[in-house]
Amino acid sequence: MPPSVPSLPRRVAHILRTSLFVQVLCALVLGIVVGKLWPDFAADLKPLGDGFTRLIKTIISPLVFCVVVVGIAKAGDLKAFGRIGLKALIWFEVASTLALVIGLLAANVVQPGSGMHVDPSALDASAVDAKTGGGSLPSTTEFVVNAIPTSFIGAFAENSLLQVLILACLVGAALLHLGHTKVPQVLPAVEQAQEIIFAVVGFIMRLAPIAVFGAMAVLIGQYGLGVIATYAKLIVLCYVAAAFFIALLAVALRMVTGLSLWKFLRYIRAEMLLALGTASTESVMPRVMQKLRKAGARDDAVGLVLPTGYSFNLDGASLYLSIGTLFIAQAVGVDLSLGQQITVILVLMLTSKGMAGIPGSAFLALSATASSLGAIPAGAVALLLGVDRIMDSMRVVTNLLGNCVAVFAVSRWEGALDLEKARKVLDGETEDVKGAAPEVPARQAKETVTEAG
């Protein structure tokens, strides 16, 4: 007898049970429906997304520490690690500056704020203070000093990626200096801890659809769909500019590595959808690190470039800030000269580097830019309060892809990329990430964790 073919309902149920991408997609749609129909109820769902993000943040620091320490120790060359860091910083500066320039050019051509004739005195400047909590961006000196840990445990407690990176580099260098003969048990212990953390990631990722549902319902319930019509010109411009920048990333990736950004996007489609739903790239960092390692990038390159990019390579934020600055100026009737626009780029090159992890950082950067120009009223920044959350999707996608492309490019330059393995993985010729619990049926979870450990 021929083998029986599963019925359509059983096949659909199997896909829903095993595919993280489908689960998150369904949660995204359901969240939009609930937010639209029951906005008051949707507001109460905020803890779902916040709780998931808190769980992810608890494991990011130890994961980055383990990956970097193992990467340095296995590479056996601290100088190579230094070269990777230097090349990454060069890439970050070029990419983020290009994003700023593209944003300014787009805003000058389209003029999204022209004709609005907004009276700055009619805007509620205190709303910006409420959004930012009255905080401020650190100066360059403060940013550098704050990157230096005051204690080993404190770096992890504060969840400061830059501090954890410095500690990991020091520990990795110490392991290289002492050698395996003096501390033979340390590196295996760190590797085992890394595998445990990846298994924990698998468990937490099972909650991803719930987090996306809650976050999307809150977004639609709080802001509604009407804001899209009000700021349509600005929103479309930002997303088109981001699409153009991503196309440039695809060209750069093809030229440097020969890899396809479209295939990579398909490879991380579940993580990308999760980042969109939660409006956070941090929520997917552990999984993306796994997948980049799976795709042939060496541990030391992944462990250094990706976390550093979260602080230094915010391409989507750079696009938004440059367009947003000109939008505000045009809306209040201020005509910025070429010299003032160059000042905008220079100021944002500095302020955009200290944004990560600071509440309302985009508004702080915009306020700092407006103050440096002296021509735009500080209260005019409140114009973007209603549309900022809608821009999160653009910023998240662009930031995440920009950092992933940086990992591949820097790895290729340093000879830390297995191109053959990368092509096979992106073509779907190998199995999914080891220990990725959300992609397997629940009944196989025990076997998956066993393999991961």
Q: Which helix (H) or strand (E) holds 348?
A: helix 338-351
**CA-wise closest residue to 356 among 130, 163, 94, 67:** 163
**CA-wise closest residue to 359 among 328, 388, 398:** 388
The residue ranking higher by pLDDT, 438 or 432, is 432
Taking every pair of C-alpha atoms in the chain, what is the biggest distance, in angstroms? Answer: 82
**CA-wise closest residue to 196 among 355, 363, 349, 59:** 59
Judged against a pLDDT cut of 90, whether residue 243 lies above it is answered with yes
Q: Could you read off the pLDDT of 145-194 as tens digits, one per residue?
A: 777 888 888 888 877 778 888 888 888 888 888 877 777 788 888 889 98
Q: Could you read off the pLDDT of 331-389 as tens digits, one per residue?
A: 888 888 888 888 888 888 776 665 555 555 666 777 777 777 766 776 677 777 767 77
Q: Which of 308-317, 334-343, 428-437, 443-452 has the lowest mean pLDDT?
A: 443-452
Q: Which helix (H) or strand (E) holds 406?
A: helix 388-413
What mean pLDDT, rounded, does the chain reach?
A: 79
User: DSSP letter string over 322-343?
Assistant: HHHHHHHHHHTT----HHHHHH
Q: Could you read off the pLDDT of 74-128 as tens digits, one per residue?
A: 777 777 778 888 899 899 989 999 999 999 999 999 888 777 666 666 555 555 5
Give yes or no for a contact between 379 and 125, defined as CB atoms under 8 angstroms apart: yes
For the chain, the first-to-last Cα distance in angstroms comes to 41
**CA-wise closest residue to 445 among 437, 195, 15, 453:** 437
Q: What is the dihedral of CA 197, 199, 204, 209, to 10 degrees?
A: 140
Between CA 263 and CA 351 the distance in angstroms is 33
CB atoms within 10 A of CB 419: 14
One-letter identity of residue 374: G
Between CA 155 and CA 187 the distance in angstroms is 21
User: DSSP letter string over 197-238?
Assistant: HHHHHHHHHTTHHHHHHHHHHHHHHHHTTHHHHHTHHHHHHH
Q: Could you read off the pLDDT of 55-66 as tens digits, one per residue?
A: 888 888 888 888
Predicted local confidence at residue 125, as pLDDT: 55
Angstrom distances, CA of residue 248 to CA of 120, 244, 267, 401: 37, 6, 19, 11
**CA-wise closest residue to 63 among 345, 423, 303:** 303
267 alpha-carbon distance from chain centroid = 16
Query: pTM for the complete prediction?
Result: 0.79
292 alpha-carbon distance from chain centroid = 14
Give mean pLDDT, residues 226-249: 83
**CA-wise closest residue to 107 among 343, 336, 392:** 336
Q: What is the DSSP letter of 76?
A: -
